[in-house]
Amino acid sequence: MPSESQQNHLLIIEDDKGRREFLLDAPLYSIGRDPKCDIRLISQFVSRRHATIVQLNNDSGGFYYRIVDGNAKGRLSANGLLINGRKLQAHDLRNEDEIVFGPGVRAIYYMLRRDAVVTVPPDEFDITLISPNMIGEPEDSVKEPEDSSEEPKDN
């Protein structure tokens, strides 16, 4: 049966609000403190429009995500981005990348791959044959001992 690989892009944010998960599937995301951002960061230590995530096509017909410091118009954030311990203005996201936006505010990116299995309805003529020897209790089954602590009851 033919199967194709499917990708799920997941961003897990940890900030003053706790831990939240975002499934990425849109072409563009704004990230920051501003309530209008697609992915809102809850912290006084991040910019209102801290970063942008952009979906780009790859050579194999799929896509990947790139994170860019600042907003979509090119205005950089105050802190910048620390990605896997390096200060970068842009980075093509790979599985398990860690992005630090500021003190106590970080994200982990996951690219989850799984094979999509094509299923077909069961064959209407599919039958299971049962051997007569398979019916009944197994010969080596262990029966539970009866509770001998009970006294016989008088009528």
Q: Name the nearest CA neighbour of 29 among 87, 99, 95.
A: 99
Q: Name the nearest CA neighbour of 48 among 86, 84, 101.
A: 101
Among 27-31, 128-132, 142-146, whose mean pLDDT is lowest? 142-146
Beta bridge partners of 68: 52, 90
Does the structure show a pLDDT above 70 at 123? no
State which of 83-87, 113-117, 131-135 shows the largest mean pLDDT: 83-87
pLDDT of residue 2: 44
Element containing residue 2 per DSSP (H, E) = none
pLDDT of residue 98: 98
Full set of structural domains in the chain with CATH: 3-116 (2.60.200.20)
Does the structure show a pLDDT above 80 at 95? yes
pLDDT of residue 3: 45
**Token couple for 92:** 């093509």
For 133, list phi and psi in degrees, rounded to 5: -70, -15
Mean pLDDT estimate for the chain? 85
pLDDT of residue 144: 59
pLDDT tens-digit readout, 110-119: 998 866 566 6
pLDDT of residue 51: 98
The more confident residue out of 130 and 149 is 130
Does the structure show a pLDDT above 90 at 96? yes
pTM for this model (two decimals): 0.70
Q: What is the dihedral of CA 143, 149, 154, 155, to 10 degrees?
A: -40
Residue type, 12: I
Residue type, 14: E
Element containing residue 111 per DSSP (H, E) = strand 105-117
Asked whether 48 and 34 are in contact (CB, 8 A), the reply is yes
Which DSSP category does 93 fall into? -
Q: How far is CA 69 from CA 79, 87, 93, 138, in A?
A: 9, 10, 13, 67
Beta bridge partners of 28: 54
For 134, list phi and psi in degrees, rounded to 5: -90, -10
Band (pLDDT 50/70/90 cuts) for residue 141 is low
